[in-house]
């Protein structure tokens, strides 16, 4: 993995400082400017490589098509349920009476009005941080394999797979790549401490506790200390293309990343603490022990899940903040992603919860290098496929080829010797005005990455009720695809999950020029690093969907959405 400071969510979203090589950097917004919402724009009309959302809406209106409500599940860190652009589009479980402490609908989850939290405790506590899966695998199997004479020729297939996974974890924890890790951590801690000191100086100079990078840019420093503080902090804002982000959010993300790196360093010496077990209290070894967690889907300040949800479905045309991609969606938040690596059991059950409660699209902006209970996740993926539910997953931000490097979860159903037909893996594209058509951080793969979608400088909702900011990563590209899928299902409700996948991929637009292979200076065709070789386009997808949904052209009424998804519960 390249040494890049990333967000506290599964290393899939750049919302913290990027201090070393491998990060997407900029000389500042003036050197690489894109407008807020550029990802929705059209190349021909607007000059930006967006998804042509307005053109897509013009098309469906020209065909007199009416929209149906579509439930989109977001498996993530949580959501600001009070946000002005998200509160009206929260999914509501009609069968559940809010706050009565009873499981009114009998699904095993008490008061699951807007979703469920699989990393919370029944006592109301919520899991925030967790260890990394590589450390969990290494220490859990160390006594079994360390120093033992292992004859791999005599091992059963499952045991051999486990042993190879442990060797991979051992190499990651103890390997040569860790030689400079101690120095890197020292430098990171110094940088974080310096940023905190600069922040303290600037708050006094600006006479306010909260300010953005843009505020800092216009501030005229007078003293030597103020000039030094401004120079150091604004460099970090600009390097991460976070000029609209507040100092509070920036330092929080930076601090969480440093904390995560400290946990990684500690994992080389001792087993990670049982963060999740201490709060959740389930039997993690038993997939059938599934009725745990709580109904708190907000759980503090869920930057990541709030940002992702806004990209998909923030209320359109309300003259507030931003425009989501899909105009008739209800967001079901399923909280399963901590600061650290998610657990396979939580992800498997989160998928099943979403499917059982009516989601037709599931966005998954998370990932990791190890998956010790991959069979549980694969079973859930197959279950979603059987129920005609589309899964959209972020490719990851390590600038690596995931054809050869592990990235979980994925579309390969290992034990079934099959590949999920309801799965889209998404890489992050950009714009020539902001660094190029491919994001330098994005993972790629000619076989494993299906499409690219805008994931650089994406402006969306963040916690605070009426607050918005830029973030970037394949975490942002994935909901662009999920939102487009929801749009298609809203206007073409008879399409299957596999057909929606097919439409999105076949309508992807292939760039005429070469693109930069992420993590390098090599120029290649996008088809060399992506299965379709294209960037998604909602307008082209809508036109293609219209040709394969003949019942729409005959003027038949769209199927009415279930009543349970139409009510907007006011919190």
Residue range 343-378, pLDDT digits in tens: 999 999 999 999 999 999 999 999 999 999 999 999
Across 193-213, average pLDDT: 93
Cβ neighbors of 189 (< 8 A, separation 6 or more) are 258
- Place 24 in a pLDDT band, splitting at 50, 70 and 90: very low
Q: Which residues pair with 9 in a beta bridge?
A: 340
Look at residue 450 in the predicted model and tell me its pLDDT: 98
pLDDT for residue 65 is more than 90: yes
Cβ neighbors of 275 (< 8 A, separation 6 or more) are 127, 129, 130, 131, 338, 340
Across 408-436, average pLDDT: 95
Cα-based distances in Å from 369 to 85, 143, 166, 376: 34, 22, 12, 16
Look at residue 12 in the predicted model and tell me its pLDDT: 35
Could you tell me the strand order of the sheet in which 423-429 lies? 115-117, 329-335, 70-76, 361-364, 390-394, 423-429, 451-454
CB–CB of 507/22 below 8 Å?
Answer: no
- Place 550 in a pLDDT band, splitting at 50, 70 and 90: low
The verdict on whether omega for the bond into residue 409 sits within 30 degrees of 0, i.e. cis, is: yes
Q: Which residue has the higher pLDDT, 260 or 553?
A: 260
CB–CB of 501/381 below 8 Å?
Answer: no
Look at residue 3 in the predicted model and tell me its pLDDT: 28
- Place 25 in a pLDDT band, splitting at 50, 70 and 90: very low
- Place 300 in a pLDDT band, splitting at 50, 70 and 90: confident
How far is 258 from 339, CA to CA, in rounded Å? Answer: 11
Nearest to 95 by CA among 570, 571, 565: 565
Look at residue 265 in the predicted model and tell me its pLDDT: 76
- Place 568 in a pLDDT band, splitting at 50, 70 and 90: very low
- Place 180 in a pLDDT band, splitting at 50, 70 and 90: low
How far is 256 from 10, CA to CA, in rounded Å? Answer: 12
Q: Give per-residue pLDDT as tens, 248-272.
A: 888 988 888 888 777 777 777 789 9
- Place 314 in a pLDDT band, splitting at 50, 70 and 90: very high
Quote the mean pLDDT of the chain: 88
pLDDT for residue 561 is more than 80: no
Choose the weakest-confidence range: 79-83, 373-377, 422-426, 545-549. Answer: 545-549
Nearest to 445 by CA among 536, 530, 519: 530
With vertex at residue 26, the alpha carbon angle to CA 21 and CA 28, rounded to the nearest 5 degrees, is 145
Look at residue 566 in the predicted model and tell me its pLDDT: 32
Look at residue 44 in the predicted model and tell me its pLDDT: 96
Q: What is the pTM of this model?
A: 0.85
Across 498-512, average pLDDT: 97
Tokens 């695998």 sit on residue: 137
Choose the weakest-confidence range: 26-40, 99-113, 254-268, 283-297. Answer: 26-40
Q: Which residue has the higher pLDDT, 113 or 184?
A: 113
- Place 187 in a pLDDT band, splitting at 50, 70 and 90: confident
Distance of CA 482 to the CA centre of its chain: 11
pLDDT for residue 183 is more than 60: no
Q: Residue 356: how many CB atoms within 10 A of its CB? A: 13
Nearest to 368 by CA among 130, 120, 121: 130
């Amino acid at each position: 993995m390249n040494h890049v400071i990333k967000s506290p969510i599964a290393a899939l979203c750049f919302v913290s400082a990027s201090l070393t090589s491998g990060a997407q950097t900029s000389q500042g917004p003036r050197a690489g400017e894109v407008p807020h919402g550029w990802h929705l724009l059209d190349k021909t009309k607007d000059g930006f490589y967006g998804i042509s959302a307005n053109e897509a809406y013009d098309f469906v209106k020209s065909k007199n098509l009416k929209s149906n409500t579509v439930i989109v599940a977001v498996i993530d860190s949580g959501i600001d349920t009070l946000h002005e652009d998200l509160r009206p589009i929260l999914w509501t479980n009609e069968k559940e009476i809010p706050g009565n402490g009873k499981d009114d609908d009998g699904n095993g989850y008490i008061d699951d009005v807007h979703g469920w939290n699989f990393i919370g405790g029944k006592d109301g506590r919520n899991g925030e941080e967790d260890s990394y899966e590589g450390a969990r695998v290494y220490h859990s199997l160390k006594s079994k394999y360390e120093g033992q004479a292992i004859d791999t020729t005599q091992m059963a297939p499952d045991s051999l797979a486990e042993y190879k996974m442990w060797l991979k974890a051992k190499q990651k924890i103890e390997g040569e790549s860790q030689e400079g890790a101690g120095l890197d951590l020292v430098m990171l801690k110094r940088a974080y401490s310096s940023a905190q000191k600069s922040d303290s100086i600037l708050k006094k100079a600006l006479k306010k506790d909260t300010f953005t990078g843009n505020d800092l840019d216009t501030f005229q420093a007078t003293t030597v200390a103020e000039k030094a503080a401004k120079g150091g902090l604004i460099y970090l804002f600009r390097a991460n293309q976070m000029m609209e982000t507040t100092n509070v959010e920036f330092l929080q993300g930076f601090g969480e990343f440093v904390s995560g790196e400290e946990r990684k360093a500690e994992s080389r010496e001792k087993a990670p603490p049982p963060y999740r077990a201490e709060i959740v209290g389930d039997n993690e070894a038993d997939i059938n022990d599934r009725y745990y967690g709580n109904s708190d889907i907000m759980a503090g300040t869920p930057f990541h899940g709030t940002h992702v949800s806004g990209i998909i479905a923030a209320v359109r045309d309300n003259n507030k903040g931003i425009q989501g991609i899909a105009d008739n969606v209800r967001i079901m938040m399923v909280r399963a992603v901590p600061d650290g690596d998610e657990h396979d059991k939580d992800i498997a059950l989160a998928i099943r919860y979403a499917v059982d409660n009516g989601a037709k699209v599931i966005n998954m902006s998370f990932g990791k290098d190890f998956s010790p209970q991959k069979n549980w996740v694969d079973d859930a993926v197959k279950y979603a496929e059987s129920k005609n539910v589309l899964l959209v997953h972020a490719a990851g931000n390590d600038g690596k080829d995931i054809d050869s490097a592990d990235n979980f979860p994925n579309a390969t159903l290992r034990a079934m010797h099959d590949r999920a037909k309801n799965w889209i893996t998404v890489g992050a594209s950009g714009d020539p005005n902001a660094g190029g058509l491919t994001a330098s951080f994005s993972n790629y793969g000619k076989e494993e990455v299906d499409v690219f979608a805008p994931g650089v400088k994406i402006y969306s909702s963040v916690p605070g009720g009426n607050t918005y900011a830029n973030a970037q990563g394949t975490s942002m590209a994935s909901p662009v695809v999920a939102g487009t899928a929801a749009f298609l299902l809203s206007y073409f409700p008879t399409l299957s999950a596999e057909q929606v996948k097919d439409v999105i991929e076949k309508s992807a637009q292939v760039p005429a020029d070469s693109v930069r292979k992420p993590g390098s200076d090599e120029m290649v065709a996008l088809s060399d690093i992506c299965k379709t070789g294209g960037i998604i386009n909602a307008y082209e997808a809508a036109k293609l969907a219209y040709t394969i949904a003949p019942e729409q052209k005959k003027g038949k009424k769209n199927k009415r959405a279930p009543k349970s998804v139409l009510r907007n519960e006011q919190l």
